[in-house]
Structure 1
Amino acid sequence: MANPETQQRLHLVQAPHLEEFVQRILIGNGTSTEHATIVAKCLVQADLRGVDTHGSNRIPSYMERIRQKALNAQATPTIRQVTPVAAQVNGQNGFGFVAAHVGMKQAIAMAQEFGLGMVSVKHSNHFGMSAWLVKQALEAGMMSLVFTNSSPALPVWGGREKLMGVSPIACGAPAEPGRTPFILDMAPSVAARGKVYKALRRGEKIPTDWALDDDGNRTDDPAKALQGVMLPMGGPKGSALSIMMDVFSGVFSGAAFAGHVTNPYDPSKPADVGHFLVVIKPDLFMTMDEFTERMDYLYQRVVDSDKMAGVDRIYFPGEIEIITEEQRLSEGIPFADAEIESLNREADLVNVEHLKVGQ
């Protein structure tokens, strides 16, 4: 799909250097070291897993929101305990990564004691790739559900205006040590809107089944797609999932909803994103050994099932990203020329050393 005339070179950046680079830019823009460490780690996790749309390339838009006072880099989330198994986090218009991290930590603590933990988050911002929250729960040996709402990008089924967000649904379950855990992180659209921004940055075209332009026609031009609407996967099914995300993340939390969440690339006003996190102790109904044995059996049944014509390998949800992470930890994370330049402009604004890149 790439346009040969505009396609850019890719350069490799090592993950530790990238994480330190991002952290320094955040600190230079008023973020505390503690919070900058959380945000940088989450962004680089996305880069490592191949979710480039939700990784370090988001830094310029986040920093512009700080400069325009649409995001409070110094905000500290607050927690209100509602019941022994339910709490609410007020993100105070700070980084969504920090508010969600605090919420997930609280949900894990409740689940460890009571078997279940549920946290609603309001007055938050975009938190990048949902899978990092699932991984936070997995590291504690927990199952999880992660919901968020987002800015309008998707029409409801039968409509043509931007109303619902391309809001990901994510969940996970642990496996035996050394085995592949279950990690699902998917948008209710044919493709995440971040992939359109990525194609625009890299001078690439997009598949014509991803979006409609402002006139309602299919388009392979990412700029026209961003002026139009994303298309829901599975027609009314994807549309209904995006509404579900708004119910649990927006309506339920007290955050913005029904098309009123601000786009993370719009620095004019706070986003007021809402999240909904559920953590479940896997050994509520059986021992942990029994649970992980059953997960391993499920994994084997999935990946060893009969393959359709032309398929060499079947992957468990989240497995491709694990393979990508191993590869990128070894070889480096690819960035296009324009992406490097954009990040280095942010570095110049706060006197941070430029990214070290290879070919």
Structure 2
Amino acid sequence: MAETDTKYSYVTASAAKDFVEGVLVGNGVAAANAAIISDCLIKADMRGVDTHGMNRIPSYMDRVAQGVLDAKATPELKKLTPVVAQVDGKNGFGFLAAHQGMQCAIEMGKEFGIGMVSIKHSNHFGMSAWVVQQAIDAGMMSLVFTNSSPALPVWGGQSKLMGVSPIACGAPAGKERPFILDMAPSVAARGKIYKAKRRGEKIPLDWALDAEGKPTDDPSEALKGVMLPMGGPKGSGLSIMMDVFSGVLSGSAFAGHVTNPYDPSKPADVGHFLIAIKPDLFMSLEDFKERMDYLYQRVVGSDKAAGVDRIYFPGEMEQLRYEERMKTGIPLVEAEITALNAEAERVGSKPIVLF
């Protein structure tokens, strides 16, 4: 799993966090909010989800500069029932709305067994797994949904309509690693195409179609076309489900009207849907954790197919990558460092400090 390509430079998690916080504060984000946002972004980098980490900063700052993302906004939470609340993201950073929403869901879940939060008027919140991890850190199970801008045709269609909106969920374990599932309904997350374009790399031919409906390995051409759903109609159905629970239910944009996070023309109006569940509702916490550990052991210890060296539990590869990057740091290519430092220079904050 080690990244040995010599084209990379490396930055520690703490240095990356300091850098991101500096850029955010320089753009008008309150220090406390900047700390939350930077923590969420760097968690993605540390888990190897580079598509949703600090390299998103230039696109976020573009939206702030264009006035379509409010850097100074703080989400507003309203309790509707003992177990239901809604957060108005106020067109601020999605990380803040999701963090506040999950914290409320956790508190309700601990008292009443379950907590549900709908979030409206939000923005991209990066990697869904960090929201799941927030619940796991509190000893809770969770479901995390969001909708996103059009990138995927519905099954049988040819134009962009649904987002490649991730579905995520998780559960704590005992001695073994927790269960963390975070997946897009497309063959690959769209962020991977942006990453390939940024790094001058090709993409697999089964990820996307170009504007003429032909398979392409060029990320720039793929972004002009459409992503491909995983499992055909199954991936399409999951993307519609994300829109129902995140967009329709919350009162946010839906049905193809969420704005792309790289489009600085108007607010995104993203919706999210979060649930936190107390794991010891039907048995003791000790029994629950033992059962999760047994599930882990059964999964990773199952008979391997030909050519397979190891079977991983959902989320385990990312957790191993996190442990690796605690030692090696986060890899960045020169173009990424240049783009990030340009944002720092623009607001007079400190450049990124490399190993």
Relative to the length of structure 2, the TM-score reads 0.98
Cα 1:8–1:162 change in 2 (3 A) is: farther
> Would you say 1:223 and 2:230 are equivalent positions?
no
Give, in angstroms, the shift of residue 8 of structure 1. Answer: 8.9
Q: Paired residue for 1:101?
A: 99
Q: Paired residue for 2:160?
A: 162
Aligned residues: 351
Separation of aligned partners in 1, 2:31 and 2:76: 18
Separation of aligned partners in 2, 1:265 and 1:223: 14
Separation of aligned partners in 2, 1:179 and 1:14: 27
Give, in angstroms, the shift of residue 76 of structure 1. Answer: 1.1
1:276 is aligned, of 264, 267, 273, to 273
Q: Please tell me the residue identity of whatever aligns with 2:9.
A: H
> Would you say 1:323 and 2:323 are equivalent positions?
no
Q: Is the 8 A contact 2:176 2:296 kept in 1?
A: no
Give, in angstroms, the shift of residue 208 of structure 1. Answer: 0.3
Q: Paired residue for 1:53?
A: 51
Q: Paired residue for 1:69?
A: 67
Separation of aligned partners in 1, 2:121 and 2:56: 19
Q: Paired residue for 2:253?
A: 256
Separation of aligned partners in 2, 1:13 and 1:101: 25
Separation of aligned partners in 2, 1:270 and 1:210: 28
Q: Paired residue for 1:4?
A: none
Separation of aligned partners in 1, 2:57 and 2:74: 20
Separation of aligned partners in 2, 1:292 and 1:153: 39
Separation of aligned partners in 2, 1:310 and 1:64: 45
Separation of aligned partners in 2, 1:124 and 1:261: 10
Q: Paired residue for 1:340?
A: 337
**Secondary structure at the counterpart of residue 118 of structure 1:** strand
Q: Paired residue for 1:44?
A: 42
Q: Please tell me the residue identity of whatever aligns with 1:325.
A: Y
Q: Please tell me the residue identity of whatever aligns with 2:223.
A: L
1:191 is aligned, of 188, 191, 210, to 188
**Secondary structure at the counterpart of residue 121 of structure 1:** strand
Q: Is the 8 A contact 1:8 1:202 kept in 2?
A: no
**1:195-214 deviation per Cα after TM superposition (whole angstroms, max 9, x unaligned):** 00000000000000000000
Separation of aligned partners in 2, 1:166 and 1:282: 29
**1:6-62 deviation per Cα after TM superposition (whole angstroms, max 9, x unaligned):** x99211111100000000100000000111000000000000000000000000000
Alignment RMSD, CA only? Answer: 0.9
Q: Please tell me the residue identity of whatever aligns with 1:201.
A: R
Q: Paired residue for 1:133?
A: 131
2:121 is aligned, of 120, 123, 136, to 123
Q: Is the 8 A contact 2:167 2:242 kept in 1?
A: yes
Separation of aligned partners in 1, 2:8 and 2:199: 9
Separation of aligned partners in 2, 1:94 and 1:8: 38
Q: Please tell me the residue identity of whatever aligns with 1:107.
A: A
> Would you say 1:237 and 2:234 are equivalent positions?
yes
Q: Is the 8 A contact 2:301 2:311 kept in 1?
A: yes
**Secondary structure at the counterpart of residue 109 of structure 2:** helix
Q: Is the 8 A contact 1:8 1:336 kept in 2?
A: no
Deviating beyond 3 angstroms after TM superposition, the runs of 4 or more aligned structure 1 residues are none
Q: Please tell me the residue identity of whatever aligns with 1:203.
A: G
Unaligned runs of 5+ in 1: 1-6
Q: Is the 8 A contact 2:47 2:318 kept in 1?
A: yes
Separation of aligned partners in 2, 1:198 and 1:117: 35
Q: Please tell me the residue identity of whatever aligns with 2:238.
A: L
Cα 1:8–1:90 change in 2 (3 A) is: farther
Give, in angstroms, the shift of residue 356 of structure 1. Answer: 1.8
Give, in angstroms, the shift of residue 315 of structure 1. Answer: 0.4
Q: Paired residue for 2:143?
A: 145
Separation of aligned partners in 2, 1:62 and 1:228: 23
Give, in angstroms, the shift of residue 179 of structure 1. Answer: 2.1
**Secondary structure at the counterpart of residue 15 of structure 2:** helix
Separation of aligned partners in 2, 1:128 and 1:37: 15
Q: Please tell me the residue identity of whatever aligns with 2:242.
A: M
Q: Paired residue for 1:3?
A: none
1:14 is aligned, of 9, 12, 15, to 12
> Would you say 1:24 and 2:22 are equivalent positions?
yes
**Secondary structure at the counterpart of residue 309 of structure 2:** coil
**Secondary structure at the counterpart of residue 295 of structure 1:** helix
Give, in angstroms, the shift of residue 120 of structure 1. Answer: 0.1
Q: Paired residue for 2:264?
A: 267
Separation of aligned partners in 1, 2:176 and 2:39: 23
Q: Is the 8 A contact 1:8 1:337 kept in 2?
A: no
> Would you say 1:80 and 2:83 are equivalent positions?
no
Q: Is the 8 A contact 1:148 1:167 kept in 2?
A: yes
Unaligned runs of 5+ in 2: none
Q: Is the 8 A contact 1:261 1:273 kept in 2?
A: yes
Relative to the length of structure 1, the TM-score reads 0.97
> Would you say 1:353 and 2:333 are equivalent positions?
no
Separation of aligned partners in 1, 2:337 and 2:222: 24
**1:210-238 deviation per Cα after TM superposition (whole angstroms, max 9, x unaligned):** 00000000000000000000000000000
